[in-house]
Amino acid sequence: MYPQKDAIMNKRRSFLKSSVVLASALGVPALSKAAVATGSGAPGERVLRMYNTHTGESLRSVFWAEGQFIPDALTDINKLLRDHRNNAVATMDPQLLMLLNRVSAQFGDSQVLHVISGYRSPESNRFLAEHSNGVAKHSMHMEAKAIDIRMPGQDLAQLHKVALAAMGGGVGYYPDSQFVHMDTGRVRHW
């Protein structure tokens, strides 16, 4: 329908794929076909930098560009945010990714989000609810609409404040466990 736009997108995808191949050949870790080796991305792009504290995996991914989500990047993000207890992968709410991008951007281009919990399978959630305090029986983690994060080097109270100001959904503050919960449910806080 839009041959010029399709050609541009194909060139962009080809460049991104080539960047990953080059990074791999040089021994630079790269999980995503949509990953970019350096920089914060072009104007209008949405970038996430994440580290999974349970699996040790990290990712820097352009997940949204030219007005649309990038499927390969979403696949890689879903894998990183899987339930680490049983490796169950779910499709994360894209609006949660946009919310994470808005919040992390308030701290600068190079901030890495340390993920404590992304998607949580019903089995894992049931186990956690039975064996610890503060786990909702009907957690939004099970709907792939919630994440628990921290940002090393950043004040947790400031992260909490920025997450509240984003008004993107629920925000929980857990200073004893050193994380902030964010979800895309109704706006609320605890």
61 CB contacts (<8 Å, ≥6 apart)?
Answer: 31, 32, 34, 35, 47, 48, 73, 76, 77
Residue 41: predicted pLDDT: 58
* Residue 137 vs residue 151, higher pLDDT: 151
Angle at 49 between CA 52 and CA 121, to 5 degrees: 40
pLDDT in tens, 59-94: 999 999 999 999 999 999 999 999 999 999 999 999
Domains within the chain, CATH numbers bracketed: 3-189 (3.30.1380.10)
From start to end of the chain, where are the E strands?
Answer: 46-52, 58-65, 68-69, 113-117, 146-150, 170-174, 179-183, 188-189
